[in-house]
Structure 1
């Protein structure tokens, strides 16, 4: 979870800064508590974030944020957005609970086959969205601690270096899975098999 909190804190709390620590970043991130799969885990966690999610962490967040996400408009020529978009609908203001807003956001596009997760029916999209909501609900607890004791400038610079820390690569892979799932068929099974071979004692 610390992987996610580091990047989130850096992305929504700090202006974009160039990093000259590229070669040292893996060690710097790991020294802060991140794992060797920093990019993979963070890329998965942030791929479908929206302004609504980010407002839980920082209430004044708008679409002018720096959190890269996968574009859920599958017909767009831009698969990766440089920001988390505002996905609220004209009816979002009518709801008080996040669950109702989520249902509204998904069901508003239920007949649009070129939006959200390709080949997923509305129920599967709802399950996926609530899965991601669970991740961010857990992250919010640790984020509050980071506000009190923020990571160092070096850690933030490395977390922001998405082109070299694996985050952008994971987002690109996720975009391909979402847009062209048939091309990626079997990828998950192959990776799981590889992990089992590395860790034969693992229950997975």
Structure 2
């Protein structure tokens, strides 16, 4: 019995090493953040539309609870949204869902206006469209079962941790922004979640847009300009709303893809495999 913990440790270590070998050929990067970002606002409606029409309410895909009047940050399963006389098309469904809740002060991304929320949801639909193509490839050419078992055992906890942080960015962004940016002003920052991920030598905003540390701010590059991101540019996405052409242009600038499309491709592959293995 004395040696049992050591034996278990050895077995777990060997399994972890084996999983590293199994997953390495996939070339996935930043999986916890990418899978969480791609799935955080999924509804069962969109899962059925883009990925699995037979998915049920017990789908096992945790998502951020957009009803901020409720205590739970995450839903255990992607929720089915019932809207009266709604649309099947994803873009119109997003529009209907947002406008149907626009008078609900504690629903949706805190501090974001209607245009911000619509831009975010259309951005997510763009991700789901891309991930759906990889998902269909997985259905046509199913991977070795070891891939799913290794993917889930390796990344589920990390995905959950990133989802919990996204939930805080959506539900209590002022507290998160104050913590990370250490504002000298006593006025609470009116921050909101931006809903993008940038990394790898382009614009890096932590794992998610909306909150970055002073160190990350100093190190970040700004798209085509190649210069350092400044305080005004840092605030464009997460502490100002889309209210006119200038703020919309700022949003588009930060939403640009790297020229090699590496960010979106990696996002799509991570999300597709995550959903395939879970569903």
TM-score by length of 1: 0.76
Is 1:175 equivalent to 2:198 in the alignment?
no
* Inter-partner Cα distance in structure 2 for 1:70 and 1:108: 19
TM-score by length of 2: 0.57
User: Secondary structure in 1 aligned to 2:133?
Assistant: helix
Give the superposition deviation at 1:192. 4.4
Match of 1:139 among 125, 131, 138: 131
Is 1:166 equivalent to 2:190 in the alignment?
no
* Contact 1:163/1:169, CA 8 A, preserved across alignment: no
Q: Which residue of 2 aligns with 1:71?
A: 65
User: Secondary structure in 2 aligned to 1:189?
Assistant: coil
Match of 2:82 among 69, 80, 88: 88
* Contact 1:71/1:78, CA 8 A, preserved across alignment: yes
Q: Which residue of 2 aligns with 1:189?
A: 212
Give the superposition deviation at 1:29. 2.9
Query: Any stretches of 5+ residues in structure 2 without a counterpart?
Result: 1-11, 182-205, 228-279
Give the superposition deviation at 1:165. 4.7
Alignment of 1:33-112 (within 5 A): 33-35=27-29, 37-55=30-48, 56-92=50-86, 95-112=87-104
* Contact 1:38/1:165, CA 8 A, preserved across alignment: no
User: Which whole-Å deviations, capped at 9, do the CAs of 1:45-85 have from their partners, x for residues lacking one?
Assistant: 10000111111211112212011111111122211122110
Give the superposition deviation at 1:34. 1.4
* Inter-partner Cα distance in structure 1 for 2:135 and 2:64: 23
Give the superposition deviation at 1:127. 0.5
Give the superposition deviation at 1:193. 3.3
User: Secondary structure in 1 aligned to 2:212?
Assistant: helix
* Inter-partner Cα distance in structure 1 for 2:219 and 2:147: 28
User: Secondary structure in 2 aligned to 1:183?
Assistant: helix
* Inter-partner Cα distance in structure 2 for 1:165 and 1:194: 30
* Contact 1:69/1:84, CA 8 A, preserved across alignment: yes
Is 1:118 equivalent to 2:110 in the alignment?
yes
Query: Any stretches of 5+ residues in structure 1 without a counterpart?
Result: 1-19
Q: Which has the larger radius of gyration?
A: 2
Across the aligned residues of Structure 1 and Structure 2, the Cα RMSD in angstroms comes to 2.6
